[in-house]
Structure 1
Amino acid sequence: MGGRSAAPVNVEPGTVVDLSGNGTFSGTLVDSDGNGISDGIDLTGNGVPNLILIDTNADSIPDAVDTNGDGIADYYINPNPPTFLTSGPGGTGSPVLAIVDSSGNLIGFDTDGDGTTNDTLVAQILGDTTPPTLTSSLSSGTYSTSQTTTLTCTDNFAPGNIIYTLDGSTPNFQSKVGTIVSPPSKSVNLSFEGSRTLKAFCRDMNGNLSSTIQFNYTIDTSVPALTLVSQSSLAVTSFANGIQSSTATWQSNRSGSYVIYEGNACSGTSLATGSASANQDITFIRSYTHFSGEGTKSYRICVTGSNGLVGFISFSLQRDDTAPIVSTSPSSGNYSSATSVTASCTDVGGSGCDKIAYTTQVGSAPANPTIQGSTGNITNGTLYNSAIDMSDSSVTYTKFVARDKAGNLSTINSQTYTVDSQVATITVNSSTSAVNGINNVSLNWQSTKAGNYQIRIGGSSCSTGTALSNGSGNSNVTGSALATTDISTTVANSHFIEGDNTIRICVSNLVGSFGFTTRTTNKDTTAPIVSITSPSGSGPFNSGTQLQLSCSDTGGTGCDKIIYTLNGTDPTFDSNGTVTNGSVYSSAFALSNGSIQVKYRAIDLAKNSSNVSTQNFYVGPPVISSIGVGSGQLTVNFATVSGATGYKVYYNTISGVTKSNSSVSGTTSPIVLTGLNNDTIYYINITLTAAYGESDLGTETYQTPSNLTLVDYCIIQWPTSLTLTRSTTANASNAIYIQFYHTNVTNIFPQAADSRVQLQVGYGPNNSNPMTEPQNWTFFSASYNSSCLNCANNHEYYSFITAPAIPGTYKYVGRVKITGVARETYCDLDGYGGNSGLTFSTSQLGTLTVQ
């Protein structure tokens, strides 16, 4: 083919080629290794390549023939048919033709064109029955590097293809198991890491098979890899309770022999030897006794594997006999802000600090922290790993101990921290803002924090002014305060000067910082002055006149309150200024009509009290006390008023008397109204005149002129007092009984009810007169009591009144009149009527209590 890129001759597997040039002998191209390229010529039809095709120019197309299996081209494929083979490459040289005998058997090749056989080797090959021999340049074994074995096939005539497997399977040409290579030899690279089995045999060019050869090999290029599984300690110490020995545990991933050396090389002084099983722990122990003193030693473990390679690992061990030192920042002291404590360790011995343990406790010293030197176990305390916050508002005691990596322990470092970042907030619940010359000052207060307290007078801080002491009238002016607990402090009066005094309550925290508050107390020994601003004088004054009181205090604390009475008793305070009698004056108020006595006094904030002052007033119109009845006239009786210049009685036969009605004037009591009609009701009212003019009308009343006398005698017989439930009607058990006597009416026998008699029972206000204020009273009819046992010459009537709806105290009265015989007569408890010596009094009325 001689370098051509393609040949016109077909060399694909299965192609039949004419080797004789005349069609008398042919061969078939075969692909023995299954790669799709023809690699031999089968001359016998049994599929065995009797001639080997080779590719001399490496273009993947066979272009020559090897007839003796030596791998060298003997003939060349002719690219120019019809001759298939030539003696020279690319169709050069002489044609090479197969020569057969008369039976058609191949007897050789004609290489010079003379028609006779001059190469009979092919005939010998086809007649060969001797099997070839296969040898390997490498035998079974373990190798630390990749290996190459040469498989060589030898034969008495012509070796053929070699077939081999590397996975232990049996090679086979027919079903093609394995790799097929051309004769006579093949270098096989054995580079797979691990154990393998090579099996191979060969055949000669007539198909005779050699014996199968087999060898086992292991490619092991790994250096033993050593692992330091653990080292119980990197340092040892001669300290009895420390780590006195260290155990190094190691493994090799490969079995082998080992030597442990001191130093950093796999040579020198041997400390230990032995056999190492793969992945099994081996220990090596060193103690402080292997050192002459403090320092560090290095060790190397060297393992030689079965492949002769050496793996190693190094480690070191230090002897450290010096205890570490533990220190804190900051150190013991008082701190007024949040404080954290950090601990640190230094190790002069060089093995390095391992850990710090600590104990801490508020209020008292804790037990010492303890660490086992040999194990590092903390048997008391807490492992330190970050700054420790000291408790606020507390005294915190701390203790620290450190351990180094050799198990040496430091001495105990004790520190005490007093931290208080907060000062007390003081709340005064109550305090005496003013004091007189006698009373002491009281304060009720509490602190948000516990601490020692001190009460000071004056000054500008908790370190100036006068510090008070308990005793001599003082109590709780110094002491210990509990948080949020009320403290009642008393400061004696003698500590204060006239005017303003500053009281300072100081509470110290744990570090001597103060929380404080102040109060001001004014000392005032001068009583206030109280006076009536209005009205001026004693009157009389018109209705609605207002009383206005005022107070001034020259002592400076100021008036606290004014009190007064209108009932004639003295207004009073106790020593604390609490009102014990009287009413507190707040603003001007209208005085009631009538005679009024006002008593008044004042007290200032220091509890100085003025003397009691008294003033009498008359306000409003006069009061009609009674009206005498006569024929055609009424006699109006009233109480005169001091300071009044005159009086005027107004009357009319219609209720609602005004100053435009008829009137009679006078300067004294009584005033008589004449020319009146008997048995006609007249409504009457009265005024007075004074410096301010005429007063308002008083309370209207009424009376009827008559030529009849009073009933001789009438009385509230029973009961003198009565209790009813509001809005309920009395019954037989609580009826009111009235008896009366009148000549020729009640003393006629046999006794019987007289139709001319009209008798009623009524109730009215507690301070009202039914004779002059009948419009304010409510009356109920009464019934004749025919079964009276003690009436004698009297007649008795009873009434079931209905109680008012509003609870309170009322008065009740009886009244009787006899038509054409006697005019209306009121009955009280001690009797009233026309008989001599009888009088009517509002103090003699029955008392009604309504619940």
Structure 2
Amino acid sequence: MSGIGTIFTVRYSLFTNLAIVFFSLSFFSCSPNRQNYSLLSALEQMIVGLIGGSGGGGGIITPPGNGLGSFTPGESINLNNSSGPTVNGVIIDPSGSGKALGISTQGNGVPNLIFLYPNNSSSPNAVDINGDGAPDYYLCYLSNGSVNLTTGSNCSGNTVTIYPNQGFDINGDGVVDNPMIARLAADVISPSSSISPNPGSYGGVQIATIVCADNVAPGNIAYTIDGSTPAYSPQNGTITNPPKTTVTIGGNGDGTYAIKYRCRDLAGNIENVNTASYVINHNIPNVSIVTPASSFYLSSTSGAVQTASYVWKSTQVGSYSIRQNATGCTDGNVIESGMTGANQNNTSFISANQLSVGPNSIFICVNSGLVGQISFTITRDDTKPVIAASPGAGGYGYDGVTPVSIQLAYADNINVSSGYQMAYTTDGSTPAINSLTGAITNGNSFPPPAASTIDLISNTNLQFIARDPAGNLSLVGSAAYVIDSSRPTIQVNGYTPSNQVIDGSTAFGINWQFSGTGASYKVLLGGNRCTASTVSSIVNGVTVTKNVYSGPSGARYSNTVDCECNNGSTPTGTSTFISGNVVTGTASNSDIKVNTAVNTSLANLNFTAGKNSLIICVGNQANQPEYGMQTGSQTINVWKDTQAPLLVSATPSGGATDVNPNPGKLTLVFSEPLDPTSTPNLTVQVFQYGSWATIDTSKAKFQFLASSNQPDTLVIWLPSIFFPENALIQWSIAAGTLKDAASLALASTITQSFLTTTYEVANTYAPPILRTGTGEDLTFGDAKAQNLSNTVPGGLWSNSYPTDLVVFDYNTKLVWKKDEENLKTDFFSAINGCANLNIANSGAGYATLTNWRLPSAQELATLSIYDGSSPSIASASVFGSLNAAPYWTSTLFTPTVTNAWYVDFQYPDLYFGPVTASNWVRCVSGVPGSNPLVP
């Protein structure tokens, strides 16, 4: 060590301690592979217990397997599994009953996926997402313990994917088909609730029904019967799922009962508290409905539902009256009266003509000294519903894969979410619905079973009709669709010039042809003028979103090809074959023929300096133009070059710090296409002693990458594989040595610099540095970091050069050269020495590996185990040669970059010394933890 050990040597204990911490973290990222790491194993078991244990809220739920388990409130679940984005919904029990009511995916504690329990079982089988109490999607319990949503029961139908803040994809195409979650996010209107029978006096026990209604989706109902205020958080009272619940009134005998109730919608909006008071007195006749009204919607229109019947009874003899539009038994219009016996079934009828248009309250009142009552609501609706198809009639293209999807939209003056019917035909016949029963007598029901659209792939005359709950029929609508499946296919044969780069005066030529059917063609400037957006419409009360494409004109199109072909600019000047007709006979002037090549020429004045886009369009004009697509891409890029190439960006960027040394490459993006045959004059330097030390780049590799048809990106791979660590690095490309596609050379030298960190810091990884011994040496039982062998894992590597011997570490997955380099030299020569191994064997690399490099300080330290002997290296017998002397690492010393770290195998720790010193060199291949056997 001499003077260096006395003056410059620093114990690197902090470095090694951090290495242990990093290794511990890395260790836990996968299963332990050494059973005698007792401390680490114990820590791992503790972490596994923390993140995977059962119990307490906030853990990850183990869903009920095979439908036998139950969801635990407070835990989270990802219903997408691995099929889509992670959505950690929380299991919610707002009632505090211990039974989960649903899942909240919004993070607001409100269950927006309501559980449905069949026959009061312990496990739900479906979820309700719109609060109507009916299953929308079904829970599929998989054998591996996970759970997801499907469109059919018992894991049938399609898998449903949840998209956060958006909705549900039911066909796996990545597009939200049901945007309910987005609708909830935009809902700021509070729900409303109602209770029946109306508050009042009754002669016996009543079953009160509380119904929640909302503009988007009703949610949980909260009520109390003890006079306190129902609340959701903190929970007070009984909380049930939508859309309704029942409460028994009078179960404790005669007296006054007060019910307080309110509703919360699935968006989390809460209404104010409502109060309903009931007097139960056994001396009052108890009036009840035996059979509800045969229809709660009536119409005076001929053929519609004009009359409804219902059955009722009273517990006492008395006179009765039936009152329309009443608030009780003392007002309203009496539409029926008479006497009733005790517990006698009475059948009553009501006609539309007895009602006023709109909702009507109906009270049945029985007077037996005291008056008992029951009420319900019936609606008169004389207005026909309206039905429309979306998108409307017209010409549409079919590409053989995606059909044209049509939806039918229902609208009526009475806003109902159920009870109406829609029917359609595609065979030319007239659809029909029985106005009295609602049975479809001709045609198909919409929406179709297991679908939400009518999919068309051929010319179709679609006809449709709707019926509202009152039996009113809409007019029969129709829409004619011309479906053209013969979009032409365009093929480009070549360009003039072939590299698609022109100067300031030459024209640009395209040789092209098309196949299929066509009526006209045009070649346009533009090609990237259309932008995608979404439009929404309300269909059956649900917001439907679809993609549209808009150009500078503002017109919208259903696909990007038609949009681009209607928004490009027509070339000017002495251009030829830029537009015309498609003919079958003799082509003249600018006409073209199918499967016949044509040469289009565009004058230079049509192009601006830089990248220009062109698009070729052939339209079949079936009702409206449907344009073909170029084979392979939609647009053609043409570069007009009038100046030398300019650097647009560099990776690493100039002035960057903490740059990962791996890999040692530069990625340079230029303003225009480059000439891939040019060879840049590259210089790479490292700052040392107030000047720059040059790294050998004579074996650097240059790779030109294409961006939009032409190479405008240059990737430079350094032969040293890694940049030096903790180094200020400067690179430059000399003027005149890099050319663009028009042979214009780089006008001036490009120079940039950046600062690297260590590989271990950049990747939050440290290979193990574990040693046995005494004193300050680190001890973990008998564990050693190394597992060295001259035998490489079978099947991973076939060495075509059997005399190129290596040492493989099964723990770190690093490959070491068996013999050290016959080289005792300075730091920079050591880097170049290892890089030379990558071009050994005529470029095949030493031992057929081409990623040899000088090891980092962390990596080289893994070989050192200080046990009092010299050299202090584990399994020394596997190496061909070894000195108890300093060996260079690729890691510069941060405080003084004129020094670099080295490992001396007769001492236990790391040291640093001047980069000008002469140390030995041992080379390594691969990246820690990965497979280094694949170059």
Give me the TM-score of the superposition, normalised by structure 1: 0.26
Which has the higher relative contact order, 1 or 2, with Cα contacts under 8 A spaced 6 or more apart? 2
Q: Which has the higher helix share?
A: 2
Give me the TM-score of the superposition, normalised by structure 2: 0.24
